[in-house]
Amino acid sequence: VFVEKLVLRNFKSFGPRKVTINFTKGFNAIVGPNGSGKSNVADALLFVLGNLSSKTLRAETFSGLIYDGPHGKPTSASVSLVFDNSNREMLIDADEVVIGRDVLSNGRGRYKLQGRTVTRWQIIDFLDTANIHLDGFNIVQQGLIAQLAQMDPLERRKIIERMA
């Protein structure tokens, strides 16, 4: 299974029109100038996978994730993550598995799996079966390596403990 595409609607700087980002298997590189939106793509992934801290996504509150431009702010933002599941590694009998999450100006939002509204825990459990864990090291944010380099030995042991 691999990430086929990300569909962003009013998410951070990706607004107000829908933006679809296509990926391939293997080695993808995201390139562009400072401030263009590369790390916002990482934030979109963390968001749709269920991250609960808006500050981790560099926003004061979750409503701060909604595109804020010169023509006023839309009422909601959403991210859809489409997995290519042709090899059926994910336990759903479909070539495409879609996980979605939105957020409204009041900070509330929903999760969706294959278009059906589900709870966050259902998303987390489902991703678990595909070995995708929010606190694993599969999404390494900008600056984390420098933080990891300063880590003290007890924290390092805790990382290993949590994997056991």
Partner 1 sequence: KRQAFLKVFNEVNTHMRKIFALLSPGGEAYLVLQNPDDPFAGGVDINASPEGKKVKSPRAMSGGEKSLTTLSFMFAIQQVSPAPFYLLDEIDAFLDPANVQRVAELISDLSEKWQFIVVSLRDVMIARAKTLIGVYSREGISNTIRLNLEDLVKVLTSEGVELE
Ligand X SMILES: Nc1ncnc2c1ncn2[C@@H]1O[C@H](COP(=O)(O)OP(=O)(O)OP(=O)(O)O)[C@@H](O)[C@H]1O
Residues that bind ligand X (CB under 6 A): 12-13, 32, 34-40, 64-68, 142
Question: 15, 69 in Cβ contact below 8 A?
Answer: yes
**13 vs 105 by CB, closer to ligand X:** 13
Strand order in the sheet with 116-118: 14-22, 2-11, 76-84, 96-104, 111-113, 116-118
Minimal distance in Å, beta carbon 120 to partner 1? 19
Give the binding range for Mg ion (CB under 5 A) out of 84-92, 95-103, 134-142, 155-163.
134-142
Reading phi first (left if > 0) and then psi (alpha if -120 to 50, else beta), residue 69 is in beta
Pairing between β-strand 14-22 and β-strand 96-104 as defined by DSSP bridges: unpaired
What is the nearest approach in angstroms of partner 1 to the Cβ of residue 164? 4
Is residue 126 within 8 Å of residue 89, measured between CB atoms? no
Segment 142 to 161, residues that bind Mg ion, using CB under 5 A: 142
Other C-beta atoms closer than 10 Å to the C-beta of 37 total 17
Residues 27 to 66: which contact Mg ion by CB under 5 A?
A: 39
8: β partners: 19, 79
Candidates 18-26, 71-79, 97-105, 137-145: pick the segment binding Mg ion (CB under 5 A): 137-145
Smaller CB separation from ligand X, 10 or 85: 10
Which residue is at the shortest CB distance from Mg ion? 39
Q: Which residues bind Mg ion (CB under 5 A)?
A: 39, 142
